[in-house]
Amino acid sequence: MAPAAEPEERELEAALRPKNLADFVGQERVRKQLALVLAASRIRGRSADHVLMSGPPGLGKTTLAMIIAAEMNAPLRISSGPAIQHAGDLAAILSSLSDGEVLFLDEIHRMSRPAEEMLYMAMEDFRVDIIVGKGAGATAIPLELPPFTLVGATTRAGLLPGPLRDRFGFTGHLEFYSVEELELVLRRSAGMMDLKLTSAGFSEIAGRSRGTPRIANRLLRRVRDWALVHGIETIDARTASAALDMYEVDVRGLDRLDRSVLEALVNKFNGGPVGLSTLAIAVGEEPETVETVAEPFLVREGLLGRTPRGRIAMPAAWEHLGLKMPGNAVAAAMLPFDDDADV
């Protein structure tokens, strides 16, 4: 799988996004709560409350922001936290908003502190103070803003300052999807792509999608390509399995990096414990890559554990690799866990 999507991939991914809440699959609780918030705003004839979406990547935060704008019949402005490094950057965006416009800030927790402090007043009072001049001669010029709706998205809600988090009228946390929900996502996407799949074919792809719709749609496109090249019209479980095996996505959704981490941990370090830096060197990757890309899924699947002494392979990892767990590895797996271990 390529680390970045090609332009054609981005266009297709955008086309597969649902355009309204009725078409949005999964996240039942958040979807119902958000529908109520938007319906009440339309009845009042006012902009919707500010919305904060948190959760892992690929679960639909950007899609929901687009749906909010569509449901409110309002224009959408898209930016991101890393792009706003100065208060002036944010002031330029806010001052150009139209009445009722939806402003989507992705990775809002990465916004600079001066911009965050400006955003407090903008969200609450729809006003910002523009500082003109320097030193004793500096003057604050108040700038009134039209009512707007801020939709913030973050993968690390804990990094948001309390004052900013409290200014959002609605906060929704997106959970990973079940296999059944991913099958519904895939059926909708397959219909839009004019693909024929059996029920077993949908299940095979959904089971390898790591609970994430974005990954499910990408795997569906790779299976489509494989079937097209091999002249297969109807994709069944066998076809999907053969295609995904070629792309090194196994039955639990582990990719090359995931398996490299587990194999190094088991074969080179006898199941651990081993430090993050040492493990990263063993697989030829940066420690940040192992920690942020591979570890979250492996920990969630119960394949890898984090202890004060380092990373360890859990019994499920040995079983997944088809190996027998030695006695000393069992003892390592019984070590106390520490989610903040960084050794």
Binding-site residues from annotation for Mg(2+): 62
Which one is catalytic: 77, 214, 221, 224?
214
Tokens encoding 107: 């990775």
Residue ranges for the known binding site are: 16-17, 58, 61-63, 124-126, 167, 177, 214, 306, 311
Active site residue 236: no
> C-alpha angle 314/316/321, rounded to 5°?
105
C-alpha distances (whole Å) from 30 to each of 170, 182, 214, 305 are 10, 17, 18, 30
Cβ-count burial of 343 within 10 angstroms (0-12 exposed, 13-18 middle, 19+ buried)?
middle
Contacts of 219 (CB under 8 A, 6+ apart): 205, 208, 209, 244, 247, 249
Question: Which residue, among 31, 185, 173, has the nearest Cα to 39 in the 3D structure?
Answer: 31
Active site residue 106: yes
Residue ranges for the known binding site for ATP are: 16-17, 58, 61-63, 124-126, 167, 177, 214
Which one is catalytic: 31, 106, 149, 210?
106
Which one is catalytic: 155, 212, 239, 307?
155
Residue pair 198/237 in contact (Cβ under 8 Å)? The answer is yes
Active site residue 23: no
Active site residue 61: yes
Question: Which residue, among 331, 333, 296, 328, has the nearest Cα to 317 in the 3D structure?
Answer: 333
Residue ranges for the known binding site for DNA are: 306, 311
Catalytic residues: 61-62, 106, 155, 214
